[in-house]
């Protein structure tokens, strides 16, 4: 299958921030768009925006000086010089149509972010899995090392209370989204690739096209720049080998022999981990407060980017990583009631789901005789169709699985594509587990809380609105507790 034709030219020269003028952001309330809006406001740029519904994010932007309209109308872009959109904005959006009709500059969100980066040393973190956590770890580590980086992450960094900020230092760290090819906009001095896996096939069409896009991402690294890549992931390792053969500077990390930074045995410490890493013959302890081998690998990527890529002090970086408190919706503990812990996670592709469910299962069974109960909301009809069997395998360690209806996001329903595509093969896998397919939210909460016992871990998982169930589950557990007492 041929590579997709992108809607925006991510290889086009970066537009200087001074040339943007008045910037209008369509759907300004989204996580990525609101981050760009905050950064633009911090740079003193005149900002306006629109969104379908009002809310706290829009109000916070108003308080910072943005003009915000609820609803989409052509008149909203009448006095704008530049219009910024995400890939979720359709070409028939009335504001986008008006902007193009008036020959205004139209930029993708990533292109506007590249303009904000200016002459900073640019770090771009990409990968199918782990890029939000790695970005967050890197920012926290740099702050601990005395740096003052600018950053834009896909999730709120718990310790900093935001997903984007302008710093006074020379470094700018961004989470680079591969889903639509927009990670090609940044021209990084340091690029991190956590893994290369066949996700977002609704855009790319084939694994070969995904790998070609990552190859282009590596080609976008500045001359003399650094690629940090995971040695344990086959796709990332191939990318690293190709880049090294082409004369690029490459550092790899992983547990497999041959990695430039080698991870030793990983041991659990409560909800955290302890391991030893070896780089250039020097052995150092790596301690984390977040669980899972995958988080250890993400920390290794952050370490190499900070220490080798940006020259930060190794001990200070390790101290920052040791204090990393996590990113929102990345194994985020939302409450504990009567010995039942409720955790929320953004995982939405098979590898991410496998990592979070596997980590949770280890925690539960290491602690005692508790059960792992998971409510999973499939994200995108195309992803559910393409990876149903892989999702079933990823969910298999759970003792109870509640499968919500598919969250379509930008996609329209597809005939025959429901969460049953995951539930049916999951029921057929070896082992004993309860599987509930397609319940209402009320039924899902009731199924989880009625079965929960002390020592259990309840996971709400997915990239859609399943996150709202975490609070509902905690509330239901408290109500149950009050009735008992």
Token pair 């030219």 in the structure block, residue: 9
Strand order in the sheet with 400-403: 332-337, 340-345, 457-461, 372-376, 400-403, 434-437
d(C-alpha 65, C-alpha 385), whole Å:
44
Token pair 């005789």 in the structure block, residue: 369
285: Cβ–Cβ under 8 A, 6 or more apart, which residues?
274, 275, 276, 318
Specify whether 352 is catalytic.
no
Catalytic residue among 95, 156, 175, 332: 175
Q: State whether residue 84 is helix, strand or coil.
A: strand
Q: Any idea what DSSP says for residue 185?
A: G
Q: CA 350, 475, 369 angle in degrees (round to 5)?
A: 60
Give the Cβ contact number of residue 59 at 10 Å: 12
DSSP result, 435-471? EEES--HHHHHHHHHHH--TT-EEEEE-SSGGGHHHH
DSSP result, 195-234? ------HHHH-SHHHHHHHHHHHHHTSPTT-EEEEESSSH
Specify whether 483 is catalytic.
no
What values do phi and psi take at 452, rounded to 5? -65, 140
In this structure, the dihedral spanned by the alpha carbons of residues 407, 412, 414 and 415, taken in order and rounded to 10 degrees, is 110
Catalytic residue among 82, 95, 131, 449: 131
d(C-alpha 204, C-alpha 181), whole Å:
9
| Helix 314-322 and helix 131-144, axial crossing angle in degrees, nearest 10 | 120
Reading the block at residue 119, the tokens are 């002459």
d(C-alpha 39, C-alpha 28), whole Å:
12
Catalytic residue among 82, 132, 194, 252: 132
For residue 345, give the H/E element and its range: strand 340-345
Answer for the pair 185, 120: CB distance below 8 angstroms, yes or no. no
CB-hemisphere CA count at 13 Å for 385?
A: 13
Reading the block at residue 14, the tokens are 């970066």
Q: Any idea what DSSP says for residue 264?
A: -
Specify whether 132 is catalytic.
yes
Answer for the pair 454, 339: CB distance below 8 angstroms, yes or no. yes
Catalytic residues: 131-132, 175
């Amino acid at each position: 299958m041929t590579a997709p034709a992108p809607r925006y030219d991510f290889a086009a020269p970066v537009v200087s921030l001074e040339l943007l003028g008045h910037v209008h952001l369509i759907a300004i309330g989204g996580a990525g768009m609101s981050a760009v809006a905050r950064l633009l406001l911090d740079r003193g740029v005149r900002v306006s925006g629109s969104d379908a519904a009002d809310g706290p994010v829009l109000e916070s932007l108003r308080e910072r000086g943005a003009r915000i309209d609820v609803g989409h109308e052509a008149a909203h872009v009448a006095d704008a010089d530049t219009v910024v959109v995400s890939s979720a904005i359709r070409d028939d959006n009335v504001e986008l149509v008006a902007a193009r009709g008036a020959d205004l500059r139209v930029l993708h969100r990533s292109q506007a972010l590249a303009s904000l980066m200016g002459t900073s040393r640019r770090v771009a973190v990409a990968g199918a899995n782990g890029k939000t956590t790695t970005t967050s770890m890197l920012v926290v580590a740099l702050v601990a090392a005395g740096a003052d980086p600018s950053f834009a992450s896909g999730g709120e960094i718990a310790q900093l209370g935001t997903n984007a900020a302008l710093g006074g230092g020379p470094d700018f760290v961004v989470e680079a989204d591969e889903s639509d090819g927009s990670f090609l906009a940044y021209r990084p001095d340091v690029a991190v690739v956590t893994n290369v896996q066949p996700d977002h096939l609704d855009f790319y069409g084939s694994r070969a096209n995904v790998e070609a896009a990552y190859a282009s991402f590596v080609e976008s690294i500045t001359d003399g720049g650094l690629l940090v890549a995971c040695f344990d992931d086959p796709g990332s390792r191939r990318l690293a080998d190709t880049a090294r053969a082409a004369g690029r500077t490459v550092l790899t990390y992983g547990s497999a022999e041959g990695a430039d930074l080698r991870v030793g045995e990983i041991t659990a410490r409560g909800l955290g981990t302890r391991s030893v890493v070896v780089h250039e013959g020097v052995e150092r302890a790596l301690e984390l407060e977040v669980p899972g081998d995958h988080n250890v690998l993400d920390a290794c990527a952050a370490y190499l980017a900070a220490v080798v890529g940006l020259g930060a002090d190794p001990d200070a970086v390790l101290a920052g990583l040791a204090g990393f408190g996590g990113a929102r919706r990345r194994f985020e503990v939302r409450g504990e009631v009567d010995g039942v812990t409720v955790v929320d996670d953004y995982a939405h592709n098979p590898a991410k789901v496998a990592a979070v469910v596997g980590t949770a299962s280890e925690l539960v069974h290491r602690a005692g005789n508790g059960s792992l109960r998971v409510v999973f909301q499939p994200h995108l009809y195309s992803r559910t169709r393409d990876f149903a069997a892989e999702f079933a395998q990823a969910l298999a360690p759970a003792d109870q699985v509640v499968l919500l209806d598919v969250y379509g996001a930008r996609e329209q329903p597809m005939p025959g594509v429901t969460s049953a595509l995951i539930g049916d093969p999951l029921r057929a896998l070896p082992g004993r587990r309860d599987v509930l397919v397609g319940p209402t939210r009320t039924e899902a909460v009731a199924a989880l809380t009625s079965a929960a016992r002390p020592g259990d871990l309840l996971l709400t998982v997915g990239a859609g609105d399943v996150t709202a169930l975490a609070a509902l589950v905690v509330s239901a557990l408290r109500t149950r507790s009050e009735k008992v007492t």
